[in-house]
Amino acid sequence: MSLYTFERMPTILSIETSTTVCSVALIRHGEILSSAELSVAHSHSEKLTLLIRDCVAYTGLSLDELDAFAVAKGPGSYTGLRIGVATAKGLCYALDKPLIAINTLEAMAYQVAGISSYWLCPMLDARRMEVYCAIYDQALQVILPTCAKIIDQSSFAEYLSVHPIFFFGNGSLKCKPLLNSHSQAFFMSQAVHPSAKTVAILATKAFEEKRFENLAYFEPFYLKEFVSNKV
């Protein structure tokens, strides 16, 4: 049973550090009040707390007034996830607030859900010809659970045979030459990267359902063993 009880829609600060893009967002009563984003390699450890400070200050709120903190739990960059989760846990410990963790790929899928009737396959680059990926339907129900997949011309054949799929995210760039010839494989022309804004939206629902993490034991969802990949 949760130790936290609330009777209103929450105010949540979300953190996203799964890739080289670092972002934070503050949501209140279901509305994004402020957000900040930085795309500078190897800067998460230096800039994340500054983004948090500026994002909160812009709204005129204080950290004490927040109801919870949310973080993208992965998959993604080992170093980036470690920094994001450590920061979120530190804030929760210091302020006695609950922690909410959101799957990075689910948050990416939320960004494009509703644009078509296609299944959605967010992809993050995992080095060489491997990607972190999952497949969701338009209601964000899981078709293929989050996994690390080595891509070749037969990848996703069993899914493409029954339904058209939109592939997107930085991992899709290296998949396109291998999968683009399939009549049911589609690739987004615009870049889609993980965002604290959609983490915040999904965290609001998780908050209402009291899906909080155990601060003492929660770890990022690395999916694979550590391979050095600084952000």
Q: What CATH number is attached to the domain comprising 59? A: 3.30.420.40
Q: Is residue 218 part of a domain?
A: no
Task: Check residue 40 and give its pLDDT.
Answer: 73
Tens of pLDDT, residue by residue over 27-84, are 999 999 999 999 877 678 888 999 999 999 999 999 999 999 999 999 999 999 999 9
151 and 129 within one domain: yes
Tell me the pLDDT of the chain averaged across its residues: 91
61 and 20 within one domain: yes
Q: Is residue 167 part of a domain?
A: yes
Q: pLDDT tier at 1 (50, 70, 90 boundaries)?
A: very low
Q: What is the rounded average pLDDT of the residues 197-205?
A: 97
Q: Is residue 73 part of a domain?
A: yes
Task: Check residue 225 and give its pLDDT.
Answer: 65
21 and 90 within one domain: yes
Q: Is residue 216 part of a domain?
A: no
Q: Is residue 222 part of a domain?
A: no
Task: Check residue 45 and give its pLDDT.
Answer: 80
Specify the range with the lowest mean pLDDT, choosing from 8-12, 13-17, 32-36, 133-137.
Answer: 8-12
72 and 50 within one domain: yes
Q: pLDDT tier at 228 (50, 70, 90 boundaries)?
A: very low
Tens of pLDDT, residue by residue over 118-161, are 999 999 999 889 999 999 999 999 999 999 999 999 999 999 99
d(CA 25, CA 145): 26
177 and 96 within one domain: no
Number of domains in the chain: 2
96 and 203 within one domain: yes
Residues with Cβ within 8 Å of 104's Cβ and at least 6 positions away in sequence, in order, are: 16, 18, 72, 73, 74, 75, 76, 124, 132, 194, 221
89 and 77 within one domain: yes
Q: Is residue 213 part of a domain?
A: no
Q: Is residue 219 part of a domain?
A: no
152 and 78 within one domain: no
Q: Transcribe the chain into DSSP letters.
A: --S---SS--EEEEEE-SSSEEEEEEEETTEEEEEEEEE-TT-HHHHHHHHHHHHHHHHT--GGG--EEEEEEESS-HHHHHHHHHHHHHHHHHHT--EEEEEHHHHHHHHHTTS-SSEEEEEEE-STTEEEEEEE-TT--EEEEEEEEE--TTTTHHHHTTS-EEEESTTHHHHHHHHTTSTTEEE-SS-----HHHHHHHHHHHHHTT----TTT------S-------
Task: Check residue 204 and give its pLDDT.
Answer: 97
Q: Is residue 4 part of a domain?
A: no
Task: Check residue 127 and give its pLDDT.
Answer: 85
81 lies in which domain range?
A: 11-104+193-208
Chain-centroid distance, C-alpha 21: 11
d(CA 231, CA 84): 12
109 and 95 within one domain: no
Task: Check residue 229 and give its pLDDT.
Answer: 45
Question: Which pTM does this prediction carry?
Answer: 0.91
